[in-house]
Structure 1
Amino acid sequence: MKHETAFKYIGEQLDWTDADFAKEFRELQLMIDHKYDGYQGFQPGTRFHVNLLNWLSQFSTTAEKKAAYQFVKERLAYVSQREMHHLVSLMMPIVERNAHHRVAKEMQIPLYRTYIEQAAIDRVAQLLRRTLYVGLSDGARIDVFRRYNEGKVSNEQVVAFSEITTDKWKDLQGELKESLLEMGMDRAAVDANATFEAICLVDDFSGSGSSLLRHDATKGWSGKIKKFYKSSAERLGEFLSADCVMHIHHHLASDQARSQIEKDLKAFEPDYSLFHFSTSFSYVLPPDVVIDDQCADTALTTLIKAYYDNGIEDKHTKKDIWYGYKQCGLPLVLEHNTPNNSIALLWAESKQDASLRMKPLFARRKRHSSHG
């Protein structure tokens, strides 16, 4: 379907005047060309304007259709590939700054001197080479990070998946030894102490923080950090230094997730003290993007609940997710997928036999292990 034809039908659904049509066509077409048509969740050949037309058709009244359209136009936060790659590029400066702070504390000198004293500069360079970067999911963009930092980060200190075999650890250590020798370290010292001093665990997005770390009164701690901690603890001394730092970085997170992650790590660390923990985020969404029962736009919140089908719920999402998983209330779409923490009206699709049919605007690919 051509853009003009689709927009004609969209305009009819929204009761646009000729002036409305001219204005809205220009504005929305700009967003489609630069963002929405790039969504990787669309079926081959599918374009956003067709999805928008089908999505609007599920609403009964013109007022509801207009509320839904305004939601997309004014509240939707769509992160394009270029924007996500920019967030990835912000990670390395954070890692470097952390290294300078660590060396300043270690050498008991002011932070600025780590940039001008040769001994400190050398130590920072060594610490950065002794940092291992590990992707926590297939959305971590660890390949993009490596390309952005070519010359700074070796291919042999980047691992795409968190399950690292003993043979892989040996390969990583062997390459680390070669690098440390090239940096001028004595072979005896290298042979005695070729360990990683920091592990940077990388993920793309967190909406609630629960996939990273969560506590159950009966089962105790679980999540990606607990799992990686368990597999890495036995590597201390052989591949990891005794004072190894486990740094968790997200390219993007909600304000709720940041608070929850920091709170959970603080509670987790006393009983899992073999590593030191720290966190960072390239960008944290401001809390005012959240849509919930306190939202001033009652027409929107009424619409979200009125067109909610509880048949979309499963054992992973739990119940009552009209505001998304954990009721995060995010109007968020990422170019490669829509988080289940986002408003269900954006991504949910009812089963064929459902009495109320939810149609997705940005269909979501399920990744049960990645509840943010």
Structure 2
Amino acid sequence: MKHELAFNLIGKQLDWSDAQFAGEFRELQLMIDHKYDAYQGFQPATRFHVALLNWLSQFAKLADRQTAYRLIKERLIFVSQREMHHLVSLMMPIVERHARSRMARLLNMPLYVTLQDGAACSRLDLMRRRTLYVGLSDGARIDVFRRYNEGQVSNEQVVAFSEISEDKWEDLQSELRKNLMEVGPRREAAQFEVVCLVDDFTGSGSSLIRWENGQWKGKIAKFHKANDHRRGKALTTDCLLHIHHHLASRQAKTQIEHDLQAFSQACPGFAYETTFSYVLPQDIVVSDKDPDVDLVTLLRTWYDKKIEDKHTGKDIWFGYKQCGLPLVLEHNTPNNSVALLWAASEQEGTPQMKPLFARRKRHSSNG
């Protein structure tokens, strides 16, 4: 379908006047060109204006179509690939600042002194060499991180996935030993003192760490169980797990910090630290208290309970864990986003929900 025809049909769906059409067309076309058409969840040759037309057509009432369009125009946050890569580029400076702060505490000196103190600089350089970067998912952009930090981080310090085989651990430790020997005889063992666990986005924090059915679950619990016995071997006995997300909701940040503290007390061994390239502000969240009453009503009423499964839980019109995010990432839409953006009903669904940004289930569980 040609975009001129699609826009004319969209204008009719929304009852735009000629004056409205001209203004709305310019604004919408700008976002389509720079962001929306790049969504990777679209089928080949599919364009956003066609998806928008199909999405609006599910609503019989004009008021509902206008409310839905207002969600896209005024509330939607679309993170492009370039923006996500920028968040990835912010990771190393953040990690470095935290490493320097730890060094200042370790050497009992003010932070600014570590910039000139020879012992601090030498110790910080050693810490950099003994840091391992591990991706927690295929969306962690660990390859992008490596390219941004070429010359600072070696290939032998980067692992794409957190399930690391015994042979891989031996290779990592062997390469670390060689690297330490290249800069001269060192008394320090070839052990990693920091493992930086990296992921792209967290909306609720529950995929990272959660208390469920009387036990700790999530990526951190799995990593602890798989690698706690490596402390004193490939890892130092006081190894720090530095968890970094490129993007997070405020709810996820709060939940992760709370649950990590409880987990560290229940399962001692590793130390923990969390950082984020960017935390979304709380005022973007859609909830029952939202001033846009029409939007809240639409999200609650235009909802098919058959989209729920054992992983999402019930009543997810505001998204998984009721996160209420009006968020789309270029490669996928999180299930923490409001369901109206991504939910697709089966044929017998009532109402028949159609997605604007169809979601691919990258994970089989929590968001």
TM-score range, shorter chain: over 0.9
Rounded Cα–Cα distance in structure 2 between residues aligned with 1:150 and 1:322: 43
Alignment of 1:210-225 (within 5 A): 210-216=206-212, 218-225=213-220
Query: Residues 369 and 240 from structure 1, CA distance in 2 versus in 1: closer, same or farther, beyond 3 angstroms?
Result: farther
Rounded Cα–Cα distance in structure 2 between residues aligned with 1:369 and 1:156: 30
Moved more, 322-331 or 100-109: 100-109
Q: Give yes or no for the alignment of 1:284 onto 2:276.
A: no
Query: Residues 370 and 285 from structure 1, CA distance in 2 versus in 1: closer, same or farther, beyond 3 angstroms?
Result: farther
Which consecutive unaligned segments of at least 5 residues does structure 1 have? none
Q: SS at 1:368's partner residue?
A: coil
1:293 to 247, 263, 288: 288
Report how far residue 277 of structure 1 moved: 0.5
Q: Specify the alignment match of 1:253 in structure 2.
A: 248
Which consecutive unaligned segments of at least 5 residues does structure 2 have? none
Partners of 1:205 and 1:253 within 8 A in 2: yes
- Where has structure 1 moved over 3 Å in runs of 4 or more? none
Rounded Cα–Cα distance in structure 1 between residues aligned with 2:173 and 2:132: 10
Report how far residue 181 of structure 1 moved: 1.7
Q: SS at 1:201's partner residue?
A: strand
Report how far residue 118 of structure 1 moved: 2.2
Rounded Cα–Cα distance in structure 2 between residues aligned with 1:99 and 1:121: 11
Q: Specify the alignment match of 2:153 in structure 1.
A: 153
Q: Specify the alignment match of 1:27 in structure 2.
A: 27
After superposition, the C-alpha distances for 1:95-153 in whole angstroms (9 at most, x for unaligned) are 11111112212222221121112221121111011110111111111111101111111
Q: Specify the alignment match of 1:232 in structure 2.
A: 227
Q: Specify the alignment match of 2:263 in structure 1.
A: 268
1:198 to 194, 197, 208: 194
Rounded Cα–Cα distance in structure 2 between residues aligned with 1:263 and 1:154: 33
Partners of 1:316 and 1:368 within 8 A in 2: no
Q: TM-score, normalised by structure 1?
A: 0.97
Report how far residue 367 of structure 1 moved: 2.6
Partners of 1:136 and 1:162 within 8 A in 2: yes
1:208 to 204, 209, 212: 204
Count residues in correspondence: 367
Report how far residue 370 of structure 1 moved: 5.4
Letter of the structure 1 residue corresponding to residue 5 of structure 2: T
After superposition, the C-alpha distances for 1:287-337 in whole angstroms (9 at most, x for unaligned) are 111101000101111111121000101111111100000111000000110
Alignment of 1:6-155 (within 5 A): 6-155=6-155
Identity %: 66
Partners of 1:211 and 1:369 within 8 A in 2: no
After superposition, the C-alpha distances for 1:194-237 in whole angstroms (9 at most, x for unaligned) are 00000011111111111111113x43111110000011101111
Q: SS at 1:6's partner residue?
A: helix
Rounded Cα–Cα distance in structure 1 between residues aligned with 2:178 and 2:190: 10
Q: SS at 2:46's partner residue?
A: coil
2:346 to 331, 335, 351: 351
Q: Specify the alignment match of 1:367 in structure 2.
A: 362
Q: SS at 1:252's partner residue?
A: strand
Partners of 1:6 and 1:53 within 8 A in 2: yes
Rounded Cα–Cα distance in structure 2 between residues aligned with 1:370 and 1:121: 43
Letter of the structure 1 residue corresponding to residue 73 of structure 2: K
Q: TM-score, normalised by structure 2?
A: 0.98
Partners of 2:311 and 2:365 within 8 A in 1: no
After superposition, the C-alpha distances for 1:23-56 in whole angstroms (9 at most, x for unaligned) are 0111010000100011111111111000000000
Rounded Cα–Cα distance in structure 1 between residues aligned with 2:365 and 2:87: 19
After superposition, the C-alpha distances for 1:130-185 in whole angstroms (9 at most, x for unaligned) are 11011111111111110111111111111010001111011111111121122233
* C-alpha RMSD of matched pairs (Å): 1.1
After superposition, the C-alpha distances for 1:258-281 in whole angstroms (9 at most, x for unaligned) are 000000011111122111011011
